[in-house]
Amino acid sequence: MYIAKPQTDEYTKCVLVTGAVGFVGSHIAETLLREEHVKVVAYDIFNSETTVSEEKKENAAILKETANMYASYGASVHIVHGDIRDKEKLIETIKKYDVTACVHVGGMVDDRRSVTHPEEYIDVNIRGTATLLDALGQCGVKMVVQASTRSVFGQRANNDTYLTETAERRPINPYGASKVGADAMAHCYSHLYKMNVTLVRIFATYGPRGRPDMIPRILIENIVNDKPIRKFGEGTATRTWIYISDIVSAFVCALKNPCNGFAEFNTGAPNSTTLNELIACAEKVIGKKATIDHCPVPPGDAHTVGHPCYDLIKDTLGWEPKVGVEEGMRRTYNHYIQHS
Ligand SMILES: O=C(O)[C@H]1O[C@H](OP(=O)(O)OP(=O)(O)OC[C@H]2O[C@@H](n3ccc(=O)[nH]c3=O)[C@H](O)[C@@H]2O)[C@H](O)[C@@H](O)[C@H]1O
């Protein structure tokens, strides 16, 4: 059961962020520097298959600039090139910087790609997570917030289903299955080392610096540049898109409110959006029609995914999403225009 301890900065003196130059990780690290003024150790492998390595370098530069801007308040960043499967490097890093907490968002992503590369997902997401948590535990770190995903639930026949934290896990691709394993490791190591480990489960997030394989970014870049959109299926697949700043606030809130032992929270938007609705939304925000290339649905792609029930995080930490899809797509488009 979740019992929040009082808000504390005891654990947030030095936060190790895994995947810190990826999409979600870079936003969390940037917010920790800008708003919490802490020391961030940005740990990342830098050469993931599912993002552009140039963009990772740019994200690292953003973290350095932000740390410089808030240095007088105590913010600092140390960029470390490292793999979460490398226990020696992890232990060396944790000791060197005197890490007090970890936000673990690093790992392999992309549901569809995982179907053709299952071994990478199992190795990084399950073995890597176990290696990281074991290293943290051995070094006496007591506070971890770890990313989970709606992909652990797979899909549901009825889109009206509300998925609570205890909903049945029915992954439909190796990515989702590997994250069920990573979630289980979180519980296991919270028990073994008496660490406070909170899972924050993300239901499809998007925003500036978003991943190139995900549809919100594809829509914006391809419509602007007159490139066709590969639309999988009829466009009736649903997602509850949640804007990145809402996800970041869930992670920061969980970090500042340590659980006693293990906790997990579903986070997400209240309304689901079909692929056709998201395409229409992008067209409205950009003011231009998309060119559609109709494609079959790839294996492992979820259709109706239900809704997250986020009552638990709302009731215990007071977290709620604030940014609707149209506003979020507008902000993402504006950022793209300003930076391209
Ligand atoms: O929440 C997560 O944990 C996961 O979110 C994301 O998965 P999904 O929710 O499936 O988002 P996304 O890929 O944008 O596809 C959305 C819709 O667009 C359709 N889609 C997608 C791409 C494309 O080129 N064409 C297309 O029609 C597609 O058919 C689908 O209907 C991450 O990929 C995953 O790594 C993980 O982070």
Rounded-to-integer distance, Cα 183 and Cα 187, Å: 7
Q: Is 201 in the pocket of ligand 1 (CB under 6 A)?
A: no
**pLDDT 10s per residue in the chain (340 long)?**
454 555 566 678 999 999 999 999 999 999 999 999 999 999 999 976 666 778 999 999 999 999 999 999 999 999 999 999 999 999 999 999 999 999 999 999 999 999 999 999 999 999 999 999 999 999 999 999 999 999 999 999 888 899 999 999 999 999 999 999 999 999 999 999 999 999 999 999 999 999 999 999 999 999 999 999 999 999 999 999 999 999 999 999 999 998 889 999 999 999 999 999 999 999 999 999 999 999 999 999 999 999 999 999 999 999 999 999 999 999 999 999 999 8
Residue 214 CA to ligand 1 center (angstroms) comes to 5
Confirm whether 112 is domain-assigned.
yes
Confirm whether 328 is domain-assigned.
no
Confirm whether 285 is domain-assigned.
no
Q: Is 217 in the pocket of ligand 1 (CB under 6 A)?
A: no
Ligand 1, atom 34: closest residue by C-alpha = 110
Confirm whether 166 is domain-assigned.
yes
Residue to probe by mutation, ligand 1, list 150, 151, 277, most atoms within 8 Å of CB: 151
Confirm whether 136 is domain-assigned.
yes
Q: Is 156 in the pocket of ligand 1 (CB under 6 A)?
A: no
Q: Is 267 in the pocket of ligand 1 (CB under 6 A)?
A: no
How high is the pLDDT of residue 1?
Answer: 46
Q: Is 179 in the pocket of ligand 1 (CB under 6 A)?
A: no
As beta bridge partners, residue 39 has 14, 76
How high is the pLDDT of residue 5?
Answer: 53
Please count the structural domains in the chain: 1
Rounded-to-integer distance, Cα 178 and Cα 111, Å: 10
Strands 76-81 and 273-274, bridge-based pairing: unpaired
Confirm whether 80 is domain-assigned.
yes
Integer CA distances (angstroms), 90 to 16, 184, 250, in order: 10, 21, 25
For residue 214, give the ligand 1 atom closest to its CA.
Answer: 14
| Domain of residue 134, residue span | 10-211+242-270+308-322
Confirm whether 256 is domain-assigned.
yes
How high is the pLDDT of residue 333?
Answer: 98
Single pTM value for the model: 0.96
Q: Is 239 in the pocket of ligand 1 (CB under 6 A)?
A: yes
Ligand 1, atom 31: closest residue by C-alpha = 237
For residue 175, give the ligand 1 atom closest to its CA.
Answer: 35
Interface predicted TM-score of the whole assembly (ipTM), two decimals = 0.96
CATH number at residue 141: 3.40.50.720
Q: Is 220 in the pocket of ligand 1 (CB under 6 A)?
A: no
Q: Is 111 in the pocket of ligand 1 (CB under 6 A)?
A: yes
Confirm whether 222 is domain-assigned.
no
